[in-house]
Structure 1
């Protein structure tokens, strides 16, 4: 029966790209995560954004909290950072993984990122709690930052090693693939151009920007639809498509360490949630999350099953 359910889930996912079935939670047995009396029966609404890494992290939270005895409502796969965050602020959701850089710049409106990861975390933690009543748990080592990616052939042709080297490509051939959300953000594409002294419309022509979903962006770069593209450093497709990351030589992009965030009401009522996620977060390095992302985007895995299998491999559940 379990195989049949998984097969049906795979079919559902195959029909809608990277989107998972919304609420299927595979059965697990306690490992190092055991049912906690204080959490049993407590409703926890878990949300996430729609891209692969967020789906995997969201499902890790769903499975872990379920194993701990919570009554989990799966609200993952919300389109757009702002929409997912808004559900947390409004009280329509209780918990989600977020990134320190996104919290600091996009949500809290701070223009200057803090280069030290601990200080950046502490700053966003304190300000978000004070302003919005959102609690940030200690972050994972994984840093899902931005960079510019290109094919190995393009990098060799123009001698591209750093983001500053983009100017080696003639303006007419300086084409970019960029996802819709990242394009206009201060910590995204237009902000990056400004940070590297390039003028949009002159040094980078508007007609040379191809905006697209993250689901097709990496294959578009690999397929030559653009010379370069805005990518994230923990994406599993980088290695599979042999894409080269250009060094952020001006240190423009903020740190984006992932951390569990939740409403203060939930955190105050259930401090045991922090203890559930502390060992999970500690194991989520760049290499680990890149591998989990690849299991979805390259191997065609289902996010919730990828999350469950990883939690099993680490002994959190059985």
Structure 2
């Protein structure tokens, strides 16, 4: 499973999709047929008569978030066209920007760095969201208030190593590396090992100097397995990945706020929001409920337990009382 699509990969896959978008528009998708009704959101069916197209990217978390949004709008009375699963960040972004889709969840860091072209992230998550919201308004895209859910990089370790070394923050990891250089071994992706907002930048920010022999590069999925086994003391992970919970990994706090914020936020085509302003009211309380713990749990149901993302999304909405079946 891929979590956040990186800039280069997103651009490549996005450009492929853009060729299709420019030629004939988005034509994929199917109407949502869920028999759902208002719970704590959508009372009075404020979106009755609205035709809304919901999009997402192709990875697990995005499929779940797209389904959450679509089902919520459906319960509020809208006719919803499901166009979730677009390949690549750029393609999904273009669908919203062009009006081929109306709404999706996206990430503040992706908006700031990938879409708007900034190289330096803003450490404070609220200020980062505000900067993206303000800058993207001129592109006809509205970023609604963000969730606590923050799908960013982290280092994580198994319980045995956590009990052995007791590190809780990346500053603790840096101190351990200085005290006992052999204790800090890392399993990371090759991209993370070489990008400025990955390992090199992290080492610089925290004053780490890890020898090359302590760093093993491998595919994402293997990292979680090897970290769980203790083959490496720390593995590079994404903070909302369901395997963190399933494999009982402990995540180190980025106490110096080095890694960019990737908070999930409802992103809506501004013309569509003007036409159907109640979309904001329907989705806001749901967004407030989304955090890393919720995301890990929902992602785990798909990636570990093999459940369908749409079913996971609907079950959660019903369980939380947002909608009724």
* TM score, norm. by length of structure 2: 0.75
Equivalent of 2:188, from 174, 177, 189? 177
Matched, 1:285 2:286: no
**Residue pair 2:168, 2:253 contacting (<8 A) in 1 also:** yes
Q: How big is the shift at 1:139?
A: 1.2
The total of aligned residue pairs comes to 290
Q: How big is the shift at 1:240?
A: 1.9
**Residue pair 2:51, 2:78 contacting (<8 A) in 1 also:** yes
Q: Give the Cα separation in 2 of the matches to 1:269 and 1:234.
A: 33
Look up the SS of the partner of 2:250 in the other structure.
Answer: strand
Q: Deviations over 1:107-165 (max 9, x none)?
A: 223344333333222111101112x2210011122233321112233445566443352
Write out aligned runs for 1:183-222 (5 A). Answer: 186-197=196-207, 203-204=211-212, 208-212=216-220, 217-222=223-228
Look up the SS of the partner of 1:261 in the other structure.
Answer: strand
Q: How big is the shift at 1:55?
A: 1.8
Matched, 1:253 2:297: no
Q: How big is the shift at 1:273?
A: 0.6
Q: Give the Cα separation in 2 of the matches to 1:191 and 1:25.
A: 44
Aligned equivalent of 2:146: 139
Q: Give the Cα separation in 2 of the matches to 1:203 and 1:107.
A: 35
Please tell me the root mean square deviation across aligned C-alpha atoms, in Å. Answer: 3.2
Q: Give the Cα separation in 1 of the matches to 2:247 and 2:294.
A: 18
Aligned equivalent of 2:26: none
Aligned equivalent of 1:149: 156
* TM score, norm. by length of structure 1: 0.76
> Residues 24, 302 of structure 1: CA spacing in aligned structure 2 closer, same or farther, 3 A cutoff?
farther
Equivalent of 2:242, from 230, 236, 240? 236
Aligned equivalent of 1:119: 127
Aligned equivalent of 1:60: 68
User: Unaligned 5+ residue runs, structure 1?
Assistant: 1-21
Aligned equivalent of 1:78: 86
> Residues 194, 95 of structure 1: CA spacing in aligned structure 2 closer, same or farther, 3 A cutoff?
farther
**Residue pair 1:177, 1:221 contacting (<8 A) in 2 also:** no
User: Unaligned 5+ residue runs, structure 2?
Assistant: 1-28
Aligned equivalent of 1:40: 49
**Residue pair 1:174, 1:227 contacting (<8 A) in 2 also:** yes
Matched, 1:307 2:313: yes
Q: Give the Cα separation in 2 of the matches to 1:66 and 1:104.
A: 30
**Residue pair 2:49, 2:78 contacting (<8 A) in 1 also:** yes
Q: How big is the shift at 1:277?
A: 0.5
